[in-house]
Amino acid sequence: MRPNSRLSKLSFYLTVLLGGFLVLLTLKSYTSKLNGPDVPSCRPVWMYPSYIKIHSFDQSHTKYASKYSIYLYREQGRDKLPPEGNGDNDDDVVGMELEGVPVLFIPGNAGNHRQARSIAARTSELYDELRDVNGYKTKLDFFTIDFNEDFTAFHGRTILDQAEYANEAVKFILDLYSTRSNPPKSVIVIGHSMGGIVARIMMTLPDYLPGSVEDILTLSSPHSTSPLTFDGDLSTIYSAVDKFWYCGFTNCSTTTGTAKLNQLSSVAHERLQNVALISITGGALDSTLPADYTTLGYLVPKSNGFTAFTTGIPQVWTPIDHLAIVWCQQLRTRIALALLELTSLRGTVTLQDRMRVYEQYFLTGFEDYAMENKQVAIVSEEDVFGKDADDGNTVMKLEPGRIYNEKMLRSVNVFKLNKDKDVQFTLLSKIPLQIIGNKKSKLSVGLYNETGDGGIRDVSSLQATIPNFGENVTDISDSSYDGPTSPMYSLVLNTTILKPYSHIVITQSKNERHELYCQLSTNPSCLTLESRGGILSELRLFTTGQDISWLINCVMMTNLKIPQAWSSLYVYKLQFKIVFSSSLEKERFHMFIRQWTDDPFESKWFINVGEDGNYELQLTMHGIAPFVPYKIQSDYGMNLQIWQGNEPVRTREMNSKYININVTIDIIASLKLLILRYRITIVGINIAIISMVMMLQFGQFGSTSKYPSFGQTLIYLNAKYWWVIMTMLVILNYVINIPSVNKLLHYIDPVVLTDYNKFVINEEESGFKSNELFLGLSQGFTIIGVLLYLCCNFIIWLTCVALMLVGTMLNFVMLKLYPTRLKIGSKRVQSVLFNLQVCLMACIVLLIPWYLPYQIVYLIGCVYQVINVLKYWPGRIRSKDPSDEGVDDTTAAETAVFNYQVSWLILMLWLLPINIPILIVFIHNLQINWTTPFSSHHNLLSILPILLMTYYNSNVKMEKRSTRKGRNMGDGGDELPHLSTKVIKLIQLMLGYIVYYSLIYGSRHTFYLHHLFNLLCCLVWIVFYSHESAATTGEKGERR
C-alpha cells in the first residue's frame, strides 16, 4: 500500500515534520526560563526531627497494622519526649501525657511519613516564640502515617486500604487523649497530594467515627478529577466519593426518588455539614499535577471550603512545585500560624469561626467573599474626634481625586462621600491598620454617617497584606516570610461598601508617621477589554491581539477585566505602551499589578512594572480547564488590578499619562500547558492512530491477500486522509459541545452503563458543567486536536522507526554472531520446549484468579509478541536456495506475516502504559511482603484472549504451496489465513470502535482501552482459529 504520487507522499512527510517540530517546541517551552510571579522563591528550612513509632496500634485495632504504621513527631529541644526516650528509639506513647491538639499528616502517592516534619517543626518553633505575644495556649501534636510509600494514584484498592487505616488511626489518636479533663473530639487532618483524597474517602466509609474529622487541609491534592485514569477501580472510587460529597451539600434526595440516594444524602449531610476543607495548590510550577485539578468546584460550597493558590497567600507569594509544597518555608509558616490561631479559638467554636481563620490566612483579602465574613468593630465618634469634633484645626477635610501621602495628612482626616456617584477609596501603607479610636493606634480608617447612630465602623479587618513595591525591592519574595523587607498593606473600599455611609475618617499618629498613600476616586476605576466578532475575536488573540487605552494617572487603582482570557490552556502576553506628557509630577511609586480571578481564588503579583524598560508580561491563569467541572454562570475572565502613583499637575492640560495594553496568546509558551493537561490523552490518540492504520492494513489484506507494512500504511493514511482526519478533529469538538449529543455520548459510554457509582453532573440541578469527552473543551472551535494529532503521528512514526532499528540489531546479533546457538534442529527438543511452554502458560493462567494481576500476564504477552516479531524477521525463515520454486510467493507470505506481527506489537506496546501502574503496585507489594487483593485485576477473561492471540501469533500455520516441490516436501512460507470480506469488515468495525472510544472517552476512561483490545484479540483469534481448523479439515479430506 503506497501513495499514488510523490506529492501525496510529501503530505505525510510534512505532517511528520510538523509533529516533530511541535514536539521540539514543547521541549523548549519546558526548559524555558520562568519569569515574574512564576519564579520559585522558597527558602530553605531546618529542623531537628524525631519520630516515635506507636507500637500499641497493632492488629488488634486494624488488619493493616502489619503493612502500615503511625508515628508521633517530636521536635527535639522543644517537644516533650516519652519517658526514657530520646526521640530516636521506638518507645510507645500510650503512657505519655499529650497536652496539645492532635494533627494527622497523610502522605501522598509514594509519599513518606517524614514529610510531616517541616510543618510540625515550624509549628513548635512558632508556638515557643509567639505564645507570650499572641497568647497561644495550646500546642499541636503531629501524628504521621507511614504507608510504606504505597502508590495510591495507581491503584483503587490501595487508596481504600489507606482510608480504612486512617479512620482507625483517628479513633486510636482520640483515645490517647481520653484521660484529659477536656479531651479533643476531632483531629485536624493535613493531606499531601493523594493523601488529601484519602482524607475525603475516610468520611465516606462505614468505619468513620462521626465528628472525628472537622478540618481538612490538603496540599496539591487532585479533588476535581483523577490525575491518572489507568485503573477502573480508582475511577469508580473517585466517582463514588464525588457523589457522596456532592450530596452532602446538595439535597440529592429531592431530585431523585430512589431510597438509596435518599439514604446517601442523609448520611453525607450529617457527616459533612460541619467540615471545613481547604485546598492549597502551588500553581503553575506544579508539573506533576495541573493546579486545575486541585479546585473544589461543585464539591464544596464556599461556606465549607475554598481553593487557595500559594502565589496569592499573603507573605508566601511564590509558586511551589508538587513536592516542595510540604517544606516551603513561607508556606509552612503560614500553615503553622493558621493552625495555632485555630486552636486558640475560645468558647464554642463554630464552622464560621474556623472558616474565618482560614480566610484570614489563606486568601488575599481582596475577595468579596472574604469581606462578607469579616467582623467590623464599632467605636464612638468621641473616641476618634474628641470633644471638639467640629474644630477645623483638628480635622482636615480632604479633596476627592487627589493622592495624599503621610506628610500631607493631619492626625484626623475626613473624606466626604457623594452618595449620588460611584466612588472608590484606596489606601496603601507601610504599617498595618489598627483599631480606630485606640490612642496607641498609629494608623486607622473608619466609616460613619453624619446623621447616624454616632458610631464609627472600624474597617481595619478589611485590609490586605501585599508585597512591598519600594525602590530597593527587586523581587516579590523580598517581603515574604523571613525576607529582608516588610510587606505593605492596602485597603480598597468600593461603592457597595461605602454606599451606606457619608464620611471616611483616617487617623494617624501625631508623633510617628509612616509611608502611606490614599485617594478617594470619583472617576471610573473598572474597565473591560471589549470583544467583538465571535470567532474572529478569538483569532485576533492568536495574531495581532486586542488593545485598550485609557488615562491612568487620575486613579490610584484601576481594574482591567479581560473576558477573552479565561482558559487554563494558554499563556497570555501583555504588552504595555505608556505615553507621558510634560505635565507629570514625580512618580510616587512604581507601577505594580495584581492578576486575579474570582473562581477559583487566584492572585499573582507583578512589582516594579516597566522599571527596567520592560513593558511585557507573561500571564498564566487557572480558569476553565479540560475535564474539570466549572460553574456555568460564573465569570472566569482574567482581571488586572493596576496600581500607579502618578498625579497630574493642576493645569489645563490634564492628559498626562496614557496607557495602551495589547493582549495576545503566546503560542510557543502555551505548548507545555497543553502537554501537561493532555499527557493521558496522547496515549488514547496514539492508540486511535494505530487502530486506523490496522484498519487499512486489514482492508488491503482482504482485497489482495497482502498485509502491508505498518510504515507504508502510516504514510498512506496521512497522504490520502490527512485533510479528512484534521477536519473531523475540528468538527468533532463542535459536535461534542451540542448539549443533546454530549448527554447522549455520556450515557452510552460502557463505563457509565456498567458502573452504578459513576457520577454524571446534572447541569440543571447543580449549575455546573463538566465535559469529559474528547479534549474536555467547552469552546466550539479549536485546533488543539489537530496539534495533538500531529505530535502523536510523529511519535507513532518514531516508534515504528525505533522498533525497526532495534529489531535489525537484535536480528543481526542472533543470526550473524550466534547462528548455531539459537537454532534448534532436534524434533525431540522442540517438543520438550513446546510442552514446557504450554505448562508455563497454564501455571500463569491458574495464578491469575487468586494471586497474579492480569497486567503481569499482559507484560509477558508483550515479551512473547517481541519474540514473535524476531521469529518472523525477514531473512530468518526465508528459503536459502533462490532456485526453489515458489520462493517469490513464499517471501511475500512471510513478509505479510512479519508486517502483521509488527502492527500487533506496536499496538500492544502503546497499551502497555495503561497496565504498567498496576505492575508497579504489585512489585511494590511483593517488596513489603503484602498481598493486596486486586479485585477486578484478577479477572481471567480480561487477559485470556490476549494470551491466546499472542500464542497463536507464535504458531502461524504453514499453508501448502501449489508447486510440485512444495507438495512433495510439505514445506512453504508462513501465511496468514485468507478471510472473507464480511470477516474483514467485522474486524475493521471493531478497530473502528477502538478509534471512536480512544478519541471520545480515552482521556478519562483510558483503562477501558485494554478491555476493548482484549475483545479485539478474542474476535481475531476466533476468526483465525476457526479458519485454520476449517482449512485443516479440508486438507485431510483432500488426502483421503
Check whether 146 has a pLDDT greater than 80: yes
Q: What is the mean pLDDT of residues 587-594?
A: 81
Beta strands at 616-619 and 630-631: parallel, antiparallel or unpaired: unpaired
Round to whole Å and give the CA distance between 906 and 798.
11
- Where does the pLDDT of residue 609 fall: very low under 50, low under 70, confident under 90, or very high at 90 and above? confident
pLDDT of residue 151: 92
Name which of 379-383, 480-484, 710-714 the model is least confident about.
379-383
- Where does the pLDDT of residue 542 fall: very low under 50, low under 70, confident under 90, or very high at 90 and above? confident
Name which of 26-40, 464-478, 735-749, 947-961 the model is least confident about.
947-961
Beta strands at 557-562 and 638-643: parallel, antiparallel or unpaired: antiparallel
Given a contact cutoff of 8 angstroms between Cβ atoms, the answer to whether 113 and 146 are in contact is yes
Closest among 649, 797, 644 to 709, alpha carbons compared:
797
- Where does the pLDDT of residue 958 fall: very low under 50, low under 70, confident under 90, or very high at 90 and above? very low
pLDDT of residue 879: 43
pLDDT of residue 769: 83
Containing 222, the helix (H) or strand (E) segment is none
Round to whole Å and give the CA distance between 1003 and 914.
12
Cα angle: 693, vertex 699, 704; to 5 degrees: 125
| 193 catalytic per annotation | yes
Percent of the chain at pLDDT > 90 equals 51
Q: How many CB atoms lie within 10 A of CB 246?
A: 23
Q: What is the mean pLDDT of residues 252-263?
A: 71
Q: What is the mean pLDDT of residues 631-657?
A: 71
pLDDT of residue 767: 75
Place of cell 516564640: 129
Q: What is the mean pLDDT of residues 621-634?
A: 87
Round to whole Å and give the CA distance between 722 and 668.
24
Mean pLDDT of the chain: 85
**Among the ranges 583-597, 667-681, 987-1001, which has the highest mean pLDDT value?**
987-1001
pLDDT of residue 610: 75
Round to whole Å and give the CA distance between 268 and 283.
30
Place of cell 499453508: 959
Q: What is the mean pLDDT of residues 219-231?
A: 93
Q: Is 885 exposed, middle or buried (0-12, 13-18, 19+ CB in 10 A)?
A: middle
pLDDT of residue 895: 86
- Where does the pLDDT of residue 877 fall: very low under 50, low under 70, confident under 90, or very high at 90 and above? low
Angle between the N-to-C axes of helices 194-202 and 232-249, in degrees from 0 to 180, rounded to the nearest 10:
60
DSSP string computed for 847-897: HTTTTS-HHHHHHHHHHHHHHHHHHT-TTTSS-S-TTSTTHHHHHHHHHHH
Beta strands at 768-769 and 571-580: parallel, antiparallel or unpaired: unpaired
Which comes out higher in pLDDT, residue 609 or 48?
48
Check whether 497 has a pLDDT greater than 80: yes
| Secondary structure (3-state) at 594 | strand
pLDDT of residue 580: 59
pLDDT of residue 418: 85
Q: Which three cell numbers stand for residue 206?
A: 462505614
Given a contact cutoff of 8 angstroms between Cβ atoms, the answer to whether 715 and 2 are in contact is yes
Q: Which three cell numbers stand for residue 462?
A: 478589611
Q: What is the mean pLDDT of residues 36-42?
A: 90
Check whether 963 has a pLDDT greater than 50: no
pLDDT of residue 967: 38
Residue 964: HSE in the Cβ half-sphere, 13 Å Cα cutoff: 0
**Among the ranges 101-105, 282-286, 409-413, 431-435, which has the highest mean pLDDT value?**
101-105
Round to whole Å and give the CA distance between 808 and 797.
17
Check whether 257 has a pLDDT greater than 50: yes
pLDDT of residue 962: 42
Name which of 196-205, 516-525, 600-609, 971-980 the model is least confident about.
971-980
Round to whole Å and give the CA distance between 384 and 382.
5
pLDDT of residue 880: 45
pLDDT of residue 324: 95
Check whether 73 has a pLDDT greater than 90: yes
- Sign of the CA dihedral running 424, 425, 429, 434: negative
pLDDT of residue 1034: 58
pLDDT of residue 36: 83
Q: What is the largest CA-CA distance in the chain?
A: 128
Per-residue pLDDT of 886-910, as tens digits, reads 555 567 778 888 999 999 999 999 9
- Sign of the CA dihedral running 994, 997, 1000, 1006: negative
Q: What is the mean pLDDT of residues 693-698?
A: 96
Which segments within 563-600 are labelled E, that is strand? Answer: 571-580, 592-597
Check whether 280 has a pLDDT greater than 90: yes
Name which of 111-120, 450-459, 919-928 the model is least confident about.
450-459
Round to whole Å and give the CA distance between 1029 and 1040.
17
Which comes out higher in pLDDT, residue 181 or 187?
187
pLDDT of residue 825: 58
Check whether 583 has a pLDDT greater than 50: no
What are the Cα distances from residue 490, in Å, to 314, 403, 487, 681, 981? 12, 14, 10, 44, 76
Own/partner long-range contacts of 64-68 (Cβ < 8 Å, ≥24 apart): 64/161, 64/164, 64/165, 64/168, 66/930, 67/148, 67/161, 67/928, 67/930, 68/145, 68/146, 68/147, 68/148, 68/161, 68/162, 68/165
Check whether 316 has a pLDDT greater than 60: yes
- Where does the pLDDT of residue 574 fall: very low under 50, low under 70, confident under 90, or very high at 90 and above? very high
Q: In sequence order, what are the residues at sequence separation of 6 or more whose Cβ sits closer than 8 angstroms to the Cβ of residue 253?
A: 247, 261, 262, 265, 266
Radius of gyration of the chain (CA): 34
Q: In sequence order, what are the residues at sequence separation of 6 or more whose Cβ sits closer than 8 angstroms to the Cβ of residue 926?
A: none
Q: What is the mean pLDDT of residues 686-694?
A: 97
Check whether 664 has a pLDDT greater than 90: yes
pLDDT of residue 553: 62
- Where does the pLDDT of residue 959 fall: very low under 50, low under 70, confident under 90, or very high at 90 and above? very low
- Where does the pLDDT of residue 680 fall: very low under 50, low under 70, confident under 90, or very high at 90 and above? very high
Percent of the chain at pLDDT > 70 equals 86
Round to whole Å and give the CA distance between 410 and 439.
15
Check whether 999 has a pLDDT greater than 90: yes
Q: How many residues does the chain have?
A: 1040
- Where does the pLDDT of residue 966 fall: very low under 50, low under 70, confident under 90, or very high at 90 and above? very low
Closest among 210, 208, 238 to 226, alpha carbons compared:
238
Q: What is the mean pLDDT of residues 718-725?
A: 92
pLDDT of residue 525: 77
Which segments within 599-654 are labelled E, that is strand? Answer: 602-606, 616-619, 630-631, 638-643
pLDDT of residue 961: 43
Q: How many CB atoms lie within 10 A of CB 59?
A: 9
pLDDT of residue 118: 96
- Where does the pLDDT of residue 705 fall: very low under 50, low under 70, confident under 90, or very high at 90 and above? confident
- Where does the pLDDT of residue 358 fall: very low under 50, low under 70, confident under 90, or very high at 90 and above? very high
pLDDT of residue 858: 94
Per-residue pLDDT of 770-781, as tens digits, reads 888 999 998 888
pLDDT of residue 835: 79
Check whether 169 has a pLDDT greater than 60: yes
Q: What residue type is 618 in one-letter code?
A: Q
pLDDT of residue 859: 94
Check whether 643 has a pLDDT greater than 80: yes
Round to whole Å and give the CA distance between 718 and 701.
19
Which comes out higher in pLDDT, residue 844 or 110?
110
Which of the residues 69, 193, 480, 670 is marked catalytic?
A: 193
Burial pattern 103-128, b for ≥16 Cβ within 10 A else e, equals bbbbbbbbbbbbbbbbbbbbbbbbbe
pLDDT of residue 95: 66
Q: How many CB atoms lie within 10 A of CB 148?
A: 16
DSSP string computed for 435-475: -TT-TT-SEEEEEE-TTSSSEEEE-GGG-EEE----TT--S
Check whether 432 has a pLDDT greater than 70: yes
- Where does the pLDDT of residue 216 fall: very low under 50, low under 70, confident under 90, or very high at 90 and above? very high
Structural domains in the chain, sorted by start: 6-24+678-820+828-879+886-1039 (no CATH), 49-363 (3.40.50.1820), 378-521 (2.60.120), 526-667 (2.60.120)
Round to whole Å and give the CA distance between 197 and 224.
10
